[in-house]
Amino acid sequence: MYDSAGQNSRDAQMSAADFCTLSDSVKQVLDQLPPVQQHQTFFSASSHTIFDDCGNDTDDSCSVGMCKNTATEQDICLASPQKSERQTEQNAKAASSSTECRKIIFSEEKLCLLEKVIASGNISFPGSVRVIVAENAVELVAADENVTESEMKLYELTANFSALSLRIPAGVVKLLQSARGQKWLQLQLAGLDAVFRFKDGACPFIVGVDWETSMGAKSRLEKMLLSKTVPFADQHTSFLQSVQWARAVEKFESEYFATVSTEYRKNEIVVEGSNETLADVVGSISMLLKQNGRLQRKITISKEQFDLLLVHKGEIQDKLESELALQQQQHRYTSCSC
């Protein structure tokens, strides 16, 4: 019995020694592994190998493995909520970053003014706003929670738009539709949120962001765009149909913001355009008519006066020819300038 007990005591001591040796070996291996892998390896070794070796051994030996195991389970449990929170934040960001696109149809007049207002940057929208002229639409691109706000803001803006008709000469309307006219309008309306519009068969009009702006633009254009007439006699008809006159008209319309037309039935030359240039054009036309006009008058004289004219006929003829030559020289100069 003693030998058997002694043998059992030695076996127990050897088992304890073996256990310590095994623990040291495991510890060395664990020290060389990354932290996560250490937990996983220790969890496996302590839960299965070490705990099984403990068997019915003392409670202290088993509590070490269970403690480590418990700590490992806590680490794993704590990691899951953090990952879940991060995923929730990512999903929230993804949801908030989702956008919606809407296209709203407007009339051509409103669309033209919207394009000018949006380009000027005088009004801001929560998101991007783009005018698509080909589709007569405004495209709104914004976050889901902002796209409705952008749409309402757009409707509020257009609800205040005001259109007023313009009373300007017909020739000026055609002039304003040309490339030169569009540039002139851009310059005159640069500081106003208003645009000029015209449709065939309809009166031209101004569209502004509100009534006050439209009225200001209307008053400005009507004061600046005027019409004047220059009367002419029948004797000027041949001149007004000449190449010299055609070149003069081309010169006027290229150098001045004006149009020149001839009304033969009314014997009037109509000049339409900016009031800043009308005076110069009308003055030049009057000078040309004076230089190219021939007056015919019938006068009654006595026989003595007639005989005196016959005596000085040569001198009178020379004087007329010299004046005619001077006029022709001036005409050639004017033609070259044109």
Give DSSP secondary structure letters for 272-329.
Answer: EEEHHHHHHHHHHHHHHHHHT----------HHHHHHHHHTHHHHHHHHHHHHHHHHH
Buried residues in 18-37 as b, exposed as e (16+ CB within 10 A): eeeeebeebeeeeeeeeeee
**At 41, which helix (H) or strand (E)?**
helix 35-44
pLDDT at 231: 94
Site of tokens 């300007």: 168
pLDDT for 24: 58
Query: What is the residue type of 188?
Result: Q
Contact 162, 113 (CB under 8 A): no
Q: What is the separation, in whole angstroms, between the first and last Cα of the chain? A: 143
Q: Which residues of the chain have pLDDT under 50?
A: 1-17, 19-20, 22, 26, 29-30, 36-84, 87-88, 90-95, 335-336, 338
Per-position DSSP letters for 109-177, written without gaps between them? HHHHHHHHHHHHTSS--SSEEEEEGGGTEEEEEEEHHHHHHHHHHHHHHHHT-EEEE----HHHHHHHH
Overall residue count recorded for the chain in this entry: 338
Long-range contacts of the stretch 310-315 (C-beta < 8 A, 24+): none
Distance CA 312, CA 306 (A): 10
Q: Is 334 helix (H, G, I), strand (E, B) or coil?
A: helix
Query: In this predicted structure, what is the pLDDT of residue 145?
Result: 80
| Euclidean distance between CA atoms 85 and 92, whole angstroms | 10
Rounded to whole angstroms, the Cα distance separating 76 from 78 reads: 5
Provide the token pair at 322.
């010299």
What is the model's pTM? 0.56
Q: What was the pLDDT predicted at 100?
A: 86
